[in-house]
Amino acid sequence: MKKMNVMVIFGGKSGEHEISLISAASILRAMDKSKYNIITIGITKEGIWKLYEGSIDEIENGNWEKIAGRVRKKKGFGGDMCLLPIGKGNGVVTLSNGKTEKIDVIFPVLHGPFGEDGTIQGLFEMMNVPYVGAGVLASSVAMDKAIAKKILQADGIPQAEYDVITFKQYKKDETEIINRIEDCFEYPIFVKPANMGSSVGITKAHNREELKESIKLAGKYDRKIVIEEAINGREIECAVLGNDNPIASLPAEIIPSAEFYDYHDKYIAGTTRFVVPADLPEGITEKVRDMAIRVYKLLDCTGLARVDFFVESGTDCILLNEINTMPGFTKISMYPKMMEVTGIKYEDLIDRLIMLAIERFNERNPNKKN
């Protein structure tokens, strides 16, 4: 049986570039080389696309760019790549040996803006090539916390109280905005860039001065800023897999070592505890799974997503936090760990995601089977 040409894209321009490298390295090590001919493309922080033909270890440690550059100087070609829609829209890539390969499916292991916000998904749609994960609309809506909250609120999904401001508004009338926030919320307050992931730019403000600094920090990452009440409760996550008939994993619980599960706690300190599956009453577990699927379908997600919740202390009320359409994907990341305790191994999960991408493509293009 002929191997499938799978293009794995990693890196990207977002603040989650390094996380993407770790996720991609883990996926590449686990992919079945007897099934897939793997083509790796790295995107630098400056947005330059490079064909990478070195070792997986150099992706993980961030040295891949230097190696891609050396390949280009040595061979006169390999460091750059050519990605074109040709004919009826078949994506192709030109390799360093000058050979052109048709791309059967793209696996974009990209986190954050320019990776899971619908922008690169639009390119894949123009190329008319199957790709893993959510489509343009679901990706862009899920990435924008402000828009996602409004859409899900309209359908009755319970969430923390929130408000949305723009950094331009804040700079124009700081006092009015601060007074408005303090009239609506009690401290502590969460301040988040509307379009970021991995807790980048998120802070918890305990007073007016911290609130001002938090807004300034969030404003460095996005023009829109979400102000959100702090919920006293347990942090619960649930993995969802599928297209029209998705399944939800057993939930997991995050027990942060810091005041909340911020970027440092996630990726640097390494002191957060995880309980997989979460020790929840059976009724709560099923409600979390049902709500995760409901949120997934409401935003028209496909492929995969991780849906994050709070279970409020004292009431056991389940509140949506956010949805992530390309969650971290190392073997110890929450998404694959939740799927594993639900019965789907990491290697099988990768296969299923590729098949789901092709299934979705074929449904959208009934006259052009991949």
238 and 356 housed in the same domain:
yes
Handedness of CA 44, 138, 163, 264 (dihedral sign): negative
Q: Which helix (H) or strand (E) segment is 346 a member of?
A: helix 346-364
- 137 within a domain of the structure (yes/no): no
245 and 343 housed in the same domain:
yes
CA gap 101, 93 in Å, rounded: 5
Counting residues of the chain whose pLDDT is more than 90, the rounded percentage is 71
65 and 125 housed in the same domain:
yes
Residue that finishes a domain, picked among 180, 205, 229 = 229
pLDDT tens, residue by residue, 315-349: 999 999 999 999 989 878 899 999 999 999 999 99
Q: Which of 69-83, 155-169, 176-190, 347-361 has the lowest mean pLDDT?
A: 69-83
pLDDT of residue 365: 78
278 and 154 housed in the same domain:
yes
pLDDT of residue 85: 47
58 and 101 housed in the same domain:
yes
Angle between helices 346-364 and 334-341 in degrees, nearest 10: 100
pLDDT tens, residue by residue, 30-57: 999 999 999 999 999 998 888 888 999 9
**Residues 6 or more apart from 118 whose CB is under 8 A from it?**
135, 136, 137, 138, 139, 140, 143
- 169 within a domain of the structure (yes/no): yes
Helix (H, G, I), strand (E, B) or coil at 80: coil
pLDDT tens, residue by residue, 63-83: 998 887 543 444 444 445 445
Q: What is the mean pLDDT of residues 194-201?
A: 73
93 and 224 housed in the same domain:
no
Helix (H, G, I), strand (E, B) or coil at 29: helix
Please choose, from the candidates 245, 303, 247, the residue with its C-alpha nearest in 3D space to the C-alpha of residue 124: 303
Q: Are 265 and 196 in contact (CB under 8 A)?
A: no
Residue reference for tokens 């760990």: 337
What is the CA 352 to chain-centroid distance, rounded?
18
297 and 207 housed in the same domain:
no
pLDDT tens, residue by residue, 109-151: 999 889 999 999 999 998 889 999 999 999 999 999 999 999 9
Structure tokens at 140: 């862009």
Cα angle: 345, vertex 351, 354; to 5 degrees: 140
Please choose, from the candidates 38, 50, 54, 53, the residue with its C-alpha nearest in 3D space to the C-alpha of residue 12: 50
- 260 within a domain of the structure (yes/no): yes
Read off the CATH number of the domain in which 93 is found: 3.40.50.20
**Residues 6 or more apart from 308 whose CB is under 8 A from it?**
235, 236, 237, 238, 320, 321, 322, 323, 324
β-pair partners for 192: 226
CA gap 108, 151 in Å, rounded: 26
- pTM for the full model? 0.89
pLDDT of residue 196: 74
Angle between helices 282-298 and 145-154 in degrees, nearest 10: 110
The residue count for the chain: 370
- 87 within a domain of the structure (yes/no): yes
> Which residue did the predictor score with more confidence, 83 or 287?
287
pLDDT of residue 71: 39
- 240 within a domain of the structure (yes/no): yes
283 and 154 housed in the same domain:
yes
220 and 346 housed in the same domain:
no
- Average per-residue pLDDT for the chain: 88
Residue that finishes a domain, picked among 207, 229, 251 = 229
Read off the CATH number of the domain in which 287 is found: 3.30.470.20
71 and 100 housed in the same domain:
yes
- Range of the structural domain that residue 74 is part of: 4-131
CA dihedral defined by 112, 114, 118, 124, rounded to 10 degrees? -130
pLDDT tens, residue by residue, 243-258: 999 999 999 999 876 5
Q: Are 339 and 354 in contact (CB under 8 A)?
A: no
- 102 within a domain of the structure (yes/no): yes
Per-residue confidence at 86, pLDDT binned at 50, 70, 90? very low
Residue that finishes a domain, picked among 229, 245, 263 = 229
154 and 283 housed in the same domain:
yes
- 136 within a domain of the structure (yes/no): no
- 171 within a domain of the structure (yes/no): yes
Cα angle: 29, vertex 328, 95; to 5 degrees: 45
Structure tokens at 124: 């894949």
218 and 235 housed in the same domain:
no
pLDDT tens, residue by residue, 217-242: 999 989 999 999 999 999 999 999 99
- For the chain, the domain total comes to 3
Q: Are 120 and 109 in contact (CB under 8 A)?
A: no
